[in-house]
């Protein structure tokens, strides 16, 4: 349990049906054709109108540890929900039996609560003639457990393995409020060889069927994903619910079933878990989502003349094709998340500077693990989300696998769809390269 005040829980929001946008769907279908895909037109992506660049105002940006509430919540509520995000859970609260860490903040805390961390986690799947299959206990191999005999291990036949680093959640309320139409338009505007794929994912709180990792499939309640290295979620309530179970082992209304440990049942019907499911009644999930939605975007460092020159070069050589400098969020009042959320005033029609298109690209780093090992998501196995570069100066390990340790190494690792742009970078003079690095270090 966290110390969050009890909130009115509104799990029942359903069914406001998405408006079929045939144009968008045909685009998705066509775009998806590039890495082999079978995104079917039967999934309806809501027509979420874009914001207006003429009237949009700047989203607040800060790394101020004392106050980074963007205005969505009262300061008291913000502090309470932040405490929920920081609270260390125990076995009596439902932690485990298999888990990765004891609080959200343990992996999302640099340099303030909601930032990222060096923590990586292990995923594994296997590929057979019949397609991708998750490992026995799910594709995340939890690093810790509450008993010695149930710590998970990668199975010898699960030969596709990956490390995935924690991503920051600061400013993600604004990202959630980017309209589907905006992401599709970004994709459309990209040259064909560099075009990003939108990930189409379920919005769990807009669907009536509680999810398990076994039935994480597409239904009518879908939206374009934007969170996680594979854009595997479109809503912060969905992500928080998934993380509470898969990172901390705490079952909740959207993920009511405890994970298996290497295929073995370890839930409250066994001696491994003293707490009945769901271990959270939804209160904590709502607090996590509210906190994330209420955070400011990451603030820039000092802008020198070299930084300004570097930003111009960044755009001129093509980095900005994927690392989109400015996006306007949908207008306040827009119904998003397949009907489960309405864009609030504090998040609507705001300019944000994420330096990401929130689309999936093949830059030669795809880790071979799809969003979920089901046919719906096979097309996501070898593409990665354009890493948002806001807050970059707070990270000293880069990419999904935390392998590049310098910006130059990161740039040199851009191949495939980004090969020509990386070559443009390599043709710059030493001074110009330094300006691009200065710019990146100002983010």
* Whether 269 contacts 147, CB under 8 Å: no
Closest CB to ligand HEC among 275 and 392? 392
* Whether 197 contacts 359, CB under 8 Å: yes
Among 321, 328, 340, 352, binds ligand HEC (CB under 6 A): 321
Dihedral angle of Cα 108, 111, 115, 116, to the nearest 10 degrees: -60
- Which strand (E) or helix (H) includes residue 22? helix 22-31
Among 28, 45, 112, 119, binds ligand HEC (CB under 6 A): 119
384 binds ligand HEC (CB under 6 A): yes
341 binds ligand HEC (CB under 6 A): no
CA–CA separation, 161 and 288 (whole Å): 29
Query: From the CB of 131, what's the least distance to ligand HEC, in Å?
Result: 20
- Which strand (E) or helix (H) includes residue 121? strand 120-128
379 binds ligand HEC (CB under 6 A): no
407 binds ligand HEC (CB under 6 A): yes
95 binds ligand HEC (CB under 6 A): no
CA–CA separation, 129 and 216 (whole Å): 21
Tell me the angle at which helices 22-31 and 180-189 cross, rounded to the nearest 10 degrees.
50
Query: From the CB of 322, what's the least distance to ligand HEC, in Å?
Result: 3
Please report how many Cα atoms fall inside a 13 Å half-sphere around the Cα of residue 357, on the Cβ side: 26
CA–CA separation, 95 and 220 (whole Å): 32
Stretch that binds ligand HEC, among 32-40, 62-70, 100-108, 342-350 (CB under 6 A): 100-108
Closest CB to ligand HEC among 222 and 384? 384
Query: From the CB of 389, what's the least distance to ligand HEC, in Å?
Result: 6
Among 60, 324, 398, 435, binds ligand HEC (CB under 6 A): 398
172 binds ligand HEC (CB under 6 A): yes
Stretch that binds ligand HEC, among 149-157, 204-212, 268-276, 357-365 (CB under 6 A): 357-365
Stretch that binds ligand HEC, among 41-49, 65-73, 166-174, 264-272 (CB under 6 A): 166-174
Residues of span 299-318 touching ligand HEC by CB under 6 A: 317-318
Closest CB to ligand HEC among 15 and 63? 63
Closest CB to ligand HEC among 25 and 282? 282
Number of Cβ within a 10 Å radius of residue 394: 17
106 binds ligand HEC (CB under 6 A): yes
The alpha-carbon radius of gyration of the chain (Å, integer) is: 21
Closest CB to ligand HEC among 150 and 194? 194
The strand ranges marked E within 150-194 are 160-165
Stretch that binds ligand HEC, among 127-135, 217-225, 234-242, 259-267 (CB under 6 A): 234-242
- Quickly tell me which residue has 């998806």 as its tokens: 32
122-151 mask for ligand HEC (x: CB under 6 A)? ------------------------------
Among 24, 101, 211, 218, binds ligand HEC (CB under 6 A): 101
Tell me the angle at which helices 283-294 and 236-248 cross, rounded to the nearest 10 degrees.
120
* Whether 224 contacts 31, CB under 8 Å: no
Closest CB to ligand HEC among 136 and 143? 143
Q: What is the 3-state secondary structure (H, E, C) of 383-423?
A: CEECCCCCCHHHCCCCCCCCCCCCHHHHHHCCCHHHHHHHH
> CA separation (Å) from 115 to 13, 65, 107, 228?
30, 11, 8, 14
The strand ranges marked E within 203-343 are 222-224, 327-328, 335-336, 341-342
Tokens linked to 279: 């271990």
Mapping DSSP to helix (H, G, I), strand (E, B) and coil, where does residue 197 land?
Answer: strand
361 binds ligand HEC (CB under 6 A): yes
Binding site for ligand HEC (CB under 6 A): 100-101, 104, 106-108, 119, 121, 164-167, 169, 172, 194, 227-230, 236, 239-240, 243-244, 247-248, 288, 292, 317-319, 321-323, 361, 363, 365, 384, 386-387, 389, 392, 395, 398-400, 407, 410-411, 414, 417-418, 421-422, 425, 436, 440
């Amino acid at each position: 349990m966290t110390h969050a005040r009890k909130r009115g829980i509104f799990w029942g929001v359903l069914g406001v049906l998405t408006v079929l946008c045939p144009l968008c769907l045909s685009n998705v279908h066509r775009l998806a054709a590039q890495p082999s895909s079978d995104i079917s037109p039967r999934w309806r992506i809501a027509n979420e109108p874009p914001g207006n660049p003429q009237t949009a105002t700047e989203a607040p940006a800060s790394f101020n540890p004392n106050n980074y509430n963007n205005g969505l919540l009262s300061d008291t509520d913000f502090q309470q929900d932040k405490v929920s995000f920081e609270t260390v859970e125990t076995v009596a609260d439902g932690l485990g039996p298999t888990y990765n860490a004891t609080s959200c903040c343990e992996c999302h805390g640099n340099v303030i609560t909601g930032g990222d961390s060096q923590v990586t986690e292990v995923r594994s799947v296997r590929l057979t003639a019949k397609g991708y299959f998750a490992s026995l206990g799910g594709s995340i191999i939890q690093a810790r457990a509450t008993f010695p005999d149930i710590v998970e291990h990668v199975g010898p036949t699960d030969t596709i393995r990956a490390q995935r680093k924690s991503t920051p959640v600061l400013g993600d309320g604004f990202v959630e409020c980017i309209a589907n139409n905006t992401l599709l338009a970004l994709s459309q505007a990209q040259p064909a060889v560099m075009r990003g794929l939108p990930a189409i994912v379920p919005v769990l709180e807009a669907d009536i069927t509680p999810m398990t990792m076994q039935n994480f499939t597409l239904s009518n309640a879908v939206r374009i994903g934007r969170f996680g290295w594979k854009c595997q979620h479109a809503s912060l309530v969905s992500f928080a619910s998934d993380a509470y179970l898969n990172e901390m082992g705490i079952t909740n209304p959207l993920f009511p079933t405890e994970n298996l440990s290497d295929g073995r049942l370890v839930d409250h019907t066994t001696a491994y878990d003293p707490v009945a499911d769901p271990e959270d009644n939804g209160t904590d999930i709502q607090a996590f989502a509210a906190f994330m939605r209420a955070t400011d975007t990451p603030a820039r460092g000092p802008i020198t003349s070299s930084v300004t020159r570097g930003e111009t070069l960044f755009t001129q050589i093509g980095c900005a094709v994927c690392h989109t400098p400015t996006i306007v969020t949908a207008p306040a009042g827009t119904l998003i998340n397949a009907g489960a959320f309405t864009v609030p005033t504090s998040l609507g029609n705001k300019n944000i500077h994420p330096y990401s298109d929130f689309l999936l690209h093949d830059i030669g780093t795809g880790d071979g693990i799809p969003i979920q090992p089901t046919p719906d998501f096979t097309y996501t196995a070898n593409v990665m989300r354009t890493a948002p570069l806001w807050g970059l100066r707070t990270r000293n390990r880069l990419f999904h696998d935390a392998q590049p340790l310098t910006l130059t190494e990161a740039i040199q690792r851009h191949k495939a769809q980004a090969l020509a742009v990386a070559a443009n970078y390599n043709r710059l003079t030493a001074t110009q390269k330094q300006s691009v690095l200065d710019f990146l270090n100002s983010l």
